Structures are given as C-alpha cells and as structure tokens.
C-alpha cells in the first residue's frame, strides 16, 4: 500500500531571502528530519517546477538537486505549467507502482517575486498556446472569457464570484504558511481593480515564492515507523486542447471531468465521502467551474452553494474546500501548488491541520490544473 508519510512546506509569499534551490533544500532537509530518514533511504526525487528555465536559466534541476543533497539517485524535473506538482505526484506514484523504488520525495517549488512582472507574466503565458499568446491573451483574459460565459449562462453576478476569494482569504487566516492571512469582504473584492472583466485583482491568485514536498512510500518498514500517514487511493491525469478554441465548452473543463471520473472509480469511493478538497482556484471562476467538473455540484449550481457558505470552514456540514486558503490566499508558487494541495489534504487526514482542522474527515481530494485546463490532475487520499 502506498502512503504519504510526510509533508513540509515553506511559507508562501515574497521570500526575498531565499533562492529557488535554497527553498528546495529547506524542504528536503525538513522532510528527511521529520520522517527520520537519511537521503540514502530515498530511491528517487521528482521535482515540479515551471519557470526555472525562463527565469533562472536552469534546465538541469535534477543534477542541481543531486549536488545539493550529495546523492546519485535519479532526480526528475516535471514541468506541466501550473499542474507541474500534480503531474510530479502522478509520475512518482507510477514509479512506485513499478516496484523498483520504495520511497520517493516529491518536491515542488517556484521563485517568482525576484523578477520583473513582465518576465513572470510572459513566462506564465507559456502555459497558453502560441496562438493565444500571439493574440495577446494572458491567463486573466482566458479565465475572464470562461467567467463571462458562466455568469451570462446561469444569471450570476460578479458578487457571486467574490464568494470564492472571501472564503479562501478567511481560510488563509487559519494557515500560518499562507501568503495572505487577512480577511477580505465581498465589497473589497467588488471594488478592487479589474484585471480582465469580470475578474478583478481580488479574484486572482498572486505571484508567489515557495516550496513544498511530500514523502511517498511503499516500504512497510518506513510506513510502519511513521505516525502520521495516509494512503494514496488515486491520482489520475487527463489532458485537453491547450487552446480554449479547441474545447467543447468554455464554462467547463473537460480534463477535470475525465480525471475526476477516473479517480473516483480507482478510489472506489463516492463524491459524498470527500471531507476536504483543495481545488485549483487560480481565479474565482476556476473554483466554481471545478466544483461542478469534479462532480460535487450540478452544472450551473456551484456558485450559489459556495455563496451559501457550505464549503466554508466552520459553516460547512459537509466538505470544506481550500482549507489552506487555496491558490488565492495561501499563494501560488506554481510548481509548489500541486504538492501543497496534496500536503494540505494529508494534514487534514492526519489531524495536523491546527486551527483549520476539519472534524471526522476520512477522505480528501486535491485538484490541480495546468493553463486554462489543458491538463488536470485529481488525487484522492485517505481511508
């Protein structure tokens, strides 16, 4: 049986005193110390990172990590835009299924705040197609188009969108590692400047630095000695057209639907069994659409359920969504995000989530998206 047996994350935010690989080193050192493991007991490292090539001119991160950790084991860099973390976890899971490795570190990291904003925005736009880039579209614009269709089709307003960041900022106040630890109101969201109508600054996840990592093991000796652990039930990936123009619909992400359906079949549990979910809220509309595509709500109904507070910590009778604060409030250091999502679910399932601990939670889900939905990864833990 495969288990997540450890998790560590740096704070997310503007970490000007740390380098990309400095953050990676901190995470690896903490993971090994917490699990009382030596690097010699690790069979491979998977490293999720999007922008290290364009921002740091590093295209050999595996060897850099080998150098820092004084090891000769395989180290793989995984890049799949904002889904890099989820994809790294998926590949690590399959690597373990192959039974030639037993214990793996899966690390995600990104360093974004040291660079000129136009460099970062151009780098992030690399998750969109060449045609979209040439048309001048960046990610706020792509998600704004999705939001326009959704709002018009179902009669929602920008106030409804605002419920997502309001909830996630509240959760951020309960997470000491979050980039934003302050409450915001619907009025503040509504009055913040437009980035791409109908999306505003406070509908949008920030530019962040940070690193996160998990230890994944099938080794009975390792699993036995570790107190806090949770089984990996499924981690499924689906892709779709990188361009919005190639999609069947703009108010739904097909890759999420496919990955979720596969994951629930694999995990042999129902949607109702999920107690916590980390859902990819790069923009407010993204969480709304995801909640429908993941099968938690019918199409067109997620917004009003989120507005009602039923996925908010302390107000929910069922599943709580984005207890970490989500991408919006916890921060979105791209390569780290998918790992932090899985780590947050692990914290909840192992009763280590502190002030945001959801009671009696047995199963949790993490949902990680690349670009505007060209890649989706759905991971289910617990049992």
Binding stretches for a copy of itself (CB under 8 A) = 50-51, 53-54, 56-60, 62-67, 71-81, 87, 90-91, 93-101, 122-123, 125-130, 133, 237-243, 246, 254-255, 258, 370-371, 374-375
Q: Residue 123 or residue 213: which is nearer to a copy of itself going by CB?
A: 123
Q: How near is the Cβ of 266 to a copy of itself at its closest, in Å?
A: 9
Which residue of the set 3, 8, 82, 171 is catalytic?
82
139/42 Cα distance (integer angstroms): 37
Q: How near is the Cβ of 20 to a copy of itself at its closest, in Å?
A: 10
Q: How near is the Cβ of 127 to a copy of itself at its closest, in Å?
A: 4
Q: How near is the Cβ of 54 to a copy of itself at its closest, in Å?
A: 5
328/337 Cα distance (integer angstroms): 11
In three-state secondary structure terms, 183 is coil
CA atoms within 13 A on the CB side of 31: 32
**What's the residue count for the chain?**
383
Q: Residue 90 or residue 200: which is nearer to a copy of itself going by CB?
A: 90
CA atoms within 13 A on the CB side of 12: 36
Q: How near is the Cβ of 241 to a copy of itself at its closest, in Å?
A: 4
End-to-end CA distance of the chain: 11
Which residue of the set 90, 169, 332, 367 is catalytic?
332
Q: Residue 91 or residue 342: which is nearer to a copy of itself going by CB?
A: 91
Residue 87: partners with Cβ closer than 8 Å, 6 or more residues away: 48, 78, 80, 237, 338, 368, 370, 375, 377
239/255 Cα distance (integer angstroms): 5
Question: What does DSSP say about strands 44-48 and 3-9: parallel, antiparallel, or unpaired?
Answer: unpaired
Q: For residue 5, give Cα distances in angstroms to 48, 146, 227, 244, 294.
A: 19, 38, 8, 38, 26
Q: For residue 46, give Cα distances in angstroms to 42, 49, 272, 335, 368.
A: 11, 10, 32, 11, 17
Q: Residue 115 or residue 154: which is nearer to a copy of itself going by CB?
A: 115
Q: For residue 210, give Cα distances in angstroms to 170, 190, 270, 275, 327.
A: 20, 28, 33, 26, 12
Q: How near is the Cβ of 167 to a copy of itself at its closest, in Å?
A: 28
Active site (annotated) includes residue 82: yes
Q: How near is the Cβ of 319 to a copy of itself at its closest, in Å?
A: 26
Q: Residue 29 or residue 34: which is nearer to a copy of itself going by CB?
A: 29
Q: Which of 189, 150, 151 is nearest to 169 (CA)?
A: 189
Longest dimension (CA), the chain: 58
Q: Residue 51 or residue 112: which is nearer to a copy of itself going by CB?
A: 51
Q: Residue 52 or residue 326: which is nearer to a copy of itself going by CB?
A: 52
> Hey, which residues are catalytic here?
82, 332
């Amino acid at each position: 049986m495969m288990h997540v047996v450890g998790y560590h994350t740096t704070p997310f935010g503007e970490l000007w005193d740390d380098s990309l690989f400095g953050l990676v080193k901190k995470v690896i050192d903490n993971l090994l110390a917490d699990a009382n493991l030596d690097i010699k007991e690790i069979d491979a490292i998977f490293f999720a990172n999007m922008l290290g090539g364009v921002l740091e001119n590093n295209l050999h991160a595996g060897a850099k990590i080998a150098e820092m950790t004084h090891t000769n084991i395989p180290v793989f860099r995984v890049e799949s835009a904002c889904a890099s973390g989820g994809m790294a976890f998926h590949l690590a899971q399959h690597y373990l299924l192959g039974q030639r490795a037993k214990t793996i570190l899966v690390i995600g990291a990104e360093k974004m705040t040291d660079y000129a904003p136009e460099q970062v925005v151009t780098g992030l736009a690399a998750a969109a197609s060449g045609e979209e880039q040439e048309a001048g579209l960046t990610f706020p614009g792509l998600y704004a188009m999705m939001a326009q269709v959704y709002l018009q089709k179902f009669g929602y307003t920008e106030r409804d969108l605002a419920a997502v960041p309001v909830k996630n900022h509240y959760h951020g106040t309960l997470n000491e590692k979050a980039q934003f630890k302050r409450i915001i109101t619907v009025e503040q969201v509504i009055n913040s400047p437009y980035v791409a109508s109908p999306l505003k600054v406070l509908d949008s996840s920030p530019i962040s630095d940070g690193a996160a990592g998990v230890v994944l093991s099938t080794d009975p000796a390792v699993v036995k000695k570790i107190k806090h652990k949770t089984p990996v039930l499924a981690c499924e990936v689906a892709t779709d057209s990188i361009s919005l123009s190639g999609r069947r619909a703009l108010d739904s992400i097909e890759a999420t639907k496919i990955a979720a359906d596969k994951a629930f079949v694999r995990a042999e549990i129902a949607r109702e069994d999920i107690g916590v979910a980390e859902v990819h809220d790069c923009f407010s509309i993204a969480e709304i659409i995801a909640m429908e595509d993941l099968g938690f709500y019918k199409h067109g109904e997620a917004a009003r359920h989120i507005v009602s507070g039923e996925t908010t910590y302390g107000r929910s009778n069922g599943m709580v969504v984005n207890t970490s604060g989500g991408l919006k409030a916890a921060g979105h250091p791209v390569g780290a995000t998918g790992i932090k999502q899985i780590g947050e679910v692990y914290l909840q399932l192992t009763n280590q989530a502190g002030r945001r601990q959801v009671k009696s939670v047995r199963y949790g889900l993490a949902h990680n998206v690349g670009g505007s939905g060209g890649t989706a990864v759905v991971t289910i833990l617990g049992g």
